[in-house]
């Protein structure tokens, strides 16, 4: 004989799942919009090991070699590879609409940085 789940129990389970997904979600970012005609200009892993008690920072710079033939960035996607305690990313220069970009990563105290940066353009 099958047991039915009460509405209150189901609501509780949904709330727990929502809470866990926000607690363990990484710090993912998307600046701009990836279009159908866009090319992936770069895909790089940005990482820096943890050091007990310290906040780690790392600067990622994307620069195209030939300014005359450089493509315009349409989107930057940052995917946090840590399941918890991931680093934050701030786009400090360039980005969508420009030819280059600089992103500053900052870890939580006592944790490292491990993110994947994808840059799209046309």
What distance in Å separates the CA atoms of residue 54 and residue 112, rounded to the nearest whole number?
A: 9
Cα separation values, 67 from 70, 71, 108, 118, 122, Å: 5, 8, 36, 20, 14
Decide if 73 contacts 95 (C-beta within 8 A).
yes
Predicted local confidence at residue 11, as pLDDT:
46
| pLDDT tens figures, 27-52 | 899 999 999 999 999 999 999 999 99
Q: Which residue has the higher pLDDT, 35 or 5?
A: 35
pLDDT band at 3 (very low <50, low <70, confident <90, very high): low
Half-sphere exposure of 36 (CA within 13 A, CB side): 0
What distance in Å separates the CA atoms of residue 81 and residue 31, rounded to the nearest whole number?
A: 18
Instruction: Domain ranges for the chain, please list them.
Output: 26-121
């Amino acid at each position: 004989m099958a047991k039915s789940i009460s509405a209150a129990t189901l609501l509780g389970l949904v709330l727990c799942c929502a809470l866990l997904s926000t607690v363990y979600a990484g710090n993912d970012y998307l600046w701009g919009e990836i279009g159908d005609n866009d090319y992936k200009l770069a895909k790089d892993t940005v990482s820096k090991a943890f050091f007990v008690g310290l906040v780690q920072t790392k600067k990622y710079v994307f620069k195209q070699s030939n300014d005359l033939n450089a493509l315009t960035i349409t989107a930057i996607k940052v995917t946090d590879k840590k399941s918890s305690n991931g680093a934050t990313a701030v786009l400090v220069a360039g980005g969508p609409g420009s030819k280059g970009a600089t992103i500053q990563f900052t870890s939580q105290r006592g944790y490292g940085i491990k993110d994947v940066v994808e840059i799209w353009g046309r």
